[in-house]
Amino acid sequence: MDITSIHKAYASGQVTPEAVVNEIYDRIDAEGLQPVWIALVPREKALEQARKLQSAVQADLPLYGIPFAVKDNIDVAGIPTTAACPEYSYTPEQNATVVTRLEAAGALLIGKTNMDQFATGLVGTRTPYGICSSVFDKRYISGGSSSGSAVSVASGLVSFSLGTDTAGSGRVPAMFNNLIGLKPTRGVLSTHGVVPACRTLDCVSIFAETSSDASVVLSAARGLDGQDPYSRVPAIGAGAAPWIAAPSFRFGVPVAGTLEFYGDSHNPALYQAAVEKLVALGGQPVEFDLAPFLATAQLLYKGPWVAERYAAIESFVEQHVEAMDPTVAKIIRGAANYSAVDTFKAAYKLEELRRQTARVWNSIDVMVLPTAPRTYTIEEIGEAPIERNSHLGQYTNFVNLLDLSAVALPAGFRPDGLPFGVSLIGQAFQETALLVLADRLHRGLGATLGGSDRKLAETPALVAATPPPGCLLMAVVGAHLTGQPLNWQLTERKGSLIRTCRTSPDYKFYALKGTVPPKPGLVRVPGFEGPGIEVEVWALPEDTVGSFVDGVPQPLSIGTLRLEDGSLVKGFLVEPAATEDAIEITQLGGWRKYRESLK
């Protein structure tokens, strides 16, 4: 059910959106509504939407005829929102913003999926609508709280689904069902029309079979929403990821021996295999102290943020607590144990931890962790529902508190046939770059899609954009080259070397007089046929370019260079007047050869 395959089938005339919708509803009729679904869009209404697409141009709609599902804490006009609590149910008049945007892109909504009640849990068992299980073994949990959303994709009923993620609910079910689970930066996807869990932390998440599919959905759904006070877009340079297009990158791994798998004997080896694959992809592992991240994670359920869950449904809890799942009620009613003073103290502690953890990003570009330490059976969760739920959030709970982005991805199968998964975690607004790296790693570790036997290798790879997100490409020719005296001006701005190449032939090159340190000058001469001049192309975060340009001394300037492949980048040029008393070194083809010739 990946997007590309469906679109190819539509374009060839093999199937129509109407036929796809009918096939999905036939399967649901045969398999039963629950436990995956809480409510469906009426079949005839879904077919009507499919027929309307017949008059649209497929190429104009990135999600043309693509079936999807949403978690039942996300509003769909005319269909009750229950948040997995029937007594809480209300029928909204409007769609959540994300639903409206996806339908405008051509997606076809099938229905609303099961979940842990009020999005409180990572297990998928806290619901009166039946317990979802992993598509690989019915004895094991599906993960939650977005349980039905994950299973609907993994079982091939829809191509993608929306969940929500406050503590890991968009990532843990992805691991247990062999899926991509994208948790964007807070505010990238609007939460208008979403029943809040912790409103200051909530994210709408995306489940898909591939990173490419998740990227298409993200592009269609994102954008500032004036109806959501927490909606935001990145400032210039925010989320810059110059490392994603570089030949090498740095990835963080916890100090040896500090990962906890709660007695699981298979997952440590699979995690190590993921680390080794990242090395093969050009990654350089850097050990870091996980302790302050875990301390942050503890604040989410063992601190006053649980009171935010209470604030979301306060009147309902006070009047209908008997209608709630006992475990959910126990957690949310725990808000009474915290005072306003406790809240401020926890906020102070979070800022201390934020400062500690921020230092880690000076030495790494991305972090790789197990998505969850282990998988539990439904029976095991029943034996210790709160304790084992907390185990599942070991490596996910801190992400939203620290305003980070994350992608969970499949990382192979255990000997017992259950899937394992790892998460790539980056700084705010880096979800696009994370998806690209996740795709590379997924293709190195995985073979099949979701719960099917369809091949990942037969789907399109996700390629890094040029320039990388939030970056500008800058070509350097002299003192800023790697190993030269001004290279630090690039590295201190977190620039990444993308490639070494040459300019087009119509450039002359000069060694300028009186410059300290020695510098060259590059001048374009139309019609000149030279060897081309060696350059390094660097990706610089957009918000650092101004200070870099401001430091360029006369007679040098930053202009537009044409490279040997015809592409255009910004780079160093010189005023023609400065070449009058300079030494022409065009024939040497580059600054390094010139410097070597002086020895």
Tokens coding 64:
């043309």
Q: What is the DSSP letter of 313?
A: T
Which of 71, 277, 494, 519 is catalytic? The answer is 71
Beta sheet of 496-502, edge-to-edge order: 496-502, 534-541, 471-476, 568-574, 556-562
Give the C-alpha separation, 408 to 371, whole Å.
6
Q: Is-catalytic flag, 169?
A: yes
User: Could you tell me the two tokens for 250?
Assistant: 């740095």
The Cα 371–Cα 310 span in angstroms is 27
Count CB atoms within 10 A of the CB of residue 341.
9
Number of H helices, E strands in the chain: 20, 21
480: phi then psi, degrees, rounded to nearest 5? -95, 0
Side chain identity at residue 569, one-letter code: V
- Residues contacting 377, CB < 8 A, separation 6+: 139, 140, 141
Residue in the block written with tokens 């229905």: 111
Point out the catalytic residue in the list 155, 169, 205, 390.
Answer: 169
CB 422 within 8 A of CB 268: no
Q: CB–CB of 58/64 below 8 Å?
A: yes
Structure token digits, residue 281: 């992809």
Residue 119 carries which side chain, given as an amino acid letter? A
User: Which residues are CB-neighbours of 136 under 8 A, at least 6 positions away?
Assistant: 177, 178, 417, 418, 419, 451
Beta carbons of 144 and 15 less than 8 angstroms apart: no
Candidates 134, 142, 145, 146; catalytic one? 145
DSSP codes joined into one string, 339-367: -HHHHHHHHHHHHHHHHHHHGGGGT-SEE
User: What is the C-alpha to C-alpha distance for residues 27 and 49, in angstroms, rounded to an integer?
Assistant: 19
- Amino acid present at 56: A
Q: E strands along 136-282, which residues? A: 137-141, 160-165, 180-183, 203-208, 249-254
Pairing of strands 283-288, 203-208: unpaired
CA dihedral 426, 429, 433, 436 (to 10 degrees): 90
Residues involved in catalysis: 71, 145, 169
